[in-house]
Amino acid sequence: MAEISDVYFVDGMRTPFGRAGEKGMYWNTRADDLAVKATIGLMERNVGVPADRIDDVAIAATSQTGEQGLTLGRSVAILAGLPQTVPGFAIDRMCAGAMTSVAMMGASIGSGMYDVALAGGVEHMGHYPIGGNADPNPRFVAERMVDPGALNMGVTAERIFDRFPHLTKERSDRFGMRSQQKAQAAYEAGKFQPDLVSVAIKDAEGTWGLATEDEGRRPQTTMEDLANLKTPFRPHGRVTAGTSSPLTDGATMSLLAGGAAVKELGLTPKMRMVSFAFAGVQPEIMGIGPIPSTEKALKKAGLTIGDIGLFELNEAFAVQVISLLDHFGIADDDPRVNQWGGAIALGHPLAATGVRLMIQLAAQFAERPDVRYGLTAMCVGLGQGGSVIWENPHYNGKKR
């Protein structure tokens, strides 16, 4: 008989993230192959988990067409060499796709229906630009359900500035610059490399190479550079390429397990899932979505924002992160937040990003036994937010 179970994040790996477009390193690489590489890398690092024990594979993509179609969870499982007895499915919650994969597989494990599952996401924004194959229902605009600008994420970011004038462009620029600096420092300290799966790539001339690190970083960024950038979403606006996540290709994958499976297989989990929540907001200002989802997740967990010792917040736009920090009374430069930089520097392959946040939080937990709880959160297109609260298994109760 099924029993309620704890849910553990056992491990996670990802491909390096590449710049989308013809000049990006994955232009000649298929999206499903990126997900396959992440899956194989994860399974090879966790040889104690028999492949036939995986109950399901959930893989998210925002543009579920072409090489990102055909029920990714199932097709990637087959391509990665998992037994054909392992089922799989595809999922879509735009930017929170991988986060939703983890939440749904976590809920299935928590309810006792599953023991072990894979959850991740992939996005090849070079081959499939966001909204490129979408056909929004005309009623959205005709019946004034959604403002036309709500379908442009940059426009929604500009509206956060409109609504909260104290969130200045200078604050946003400084946050973007610091993201680049922190990401570079983390690379130089070897923080990311252990969880990256190298990918064989081929350039336009047919020459083979190896993708080993995130391609879009700009560590030399200065405040002066950012002040002079164009504002593509509005004349004299405040959102620039320097304070936005770049268009990105990449894949992530995580291994989740219940308490009984962890014990039986002798696994060493990196995090325990405490709670998760998703929330809806006005699509026109989708960037504030993680505020209500975080409030819901905290309430479910019986915690307050003061209990969170580490934050991994997706930097879709700098102003979006700052709006959440401002709401909860957290300083823009609080050391608990995005210690190793974020999507502004590393990239944001939409549906893949949620697990990237979790991989980084898990690695930071291992370094910080003084921290008990951490948060992964992100805004979502069409006016949503997603949040997952995690507990650190290394926690020893000692203050630093």
Exposed, middle or buried, 321 (CB in 10 Å: 0-12/13-18/19+)?
A: buried
CA-based nearest residue to 294, from 316, 327, 256: 327
Q: What is the rounded CA–CA span in Å between residue 150 and residue 146?
A: 7
CA-based nearest residue to 247, from 394, 112, 116, 348: 348
Q: What is the rounded CA–CA span in Å between residue 390 and residue 196?
A: 22
Strand locations in the chain, DSSP E? Answer: 7-14, 18-19, 56-60, 89-91, 116-124, 199-202, 208-211, 248-258, 271-280, 308-313, 373-380, 384-391
Residues facing residue 244 across a β-bridge: 317
**Catalytic residue (choose from 124, 166, 379, 394):** 379
* 236 counts as catalytic: no
Q: What is the dihedral sign for C-alpha 329, 376, 367, 391?
A: positive
**What single letter denotes the amino acid at residue 78?**
I
* 327 counts as catalytic: no
DSSP 271-297: EEEEEEEEEE--GGGGGGTHHHHHHHH
> Would you say 7 and 106 are in contact if contact means Cβ atoms under 8 Å apart?
yes
* 379 counts as catalytic: yes
Q: What is the rounded CA–CA span in Å between residue 80 and residue 219?
A: 35
- 347 backbone φψ class: left, alpha, beta (φ>0; ψ -120 to 50): left
Q: How does strand 199-202 pair with strand 89-91?
A: unpaired
Cα dihedral angle (67, 56, 196, 310), rounded to 10 degrees?
120
> Would you say 92 and 64 are in contact if contact means Cβ atoms under 8 Å apart?
yes
Q: At what angle do helices 318-327 and 290-301 cross, to 10 degrees?
A: 40
Exposed, middle or buried, 300 (CB in 10 Å: 0-12/13-18/19+)?
A: middle
Q: At what angle do helices 31-45 and 72-79 cross, to 10 degrees?
A: 60
Which sequence positions are flagged as catalytic?
95, 348, 379
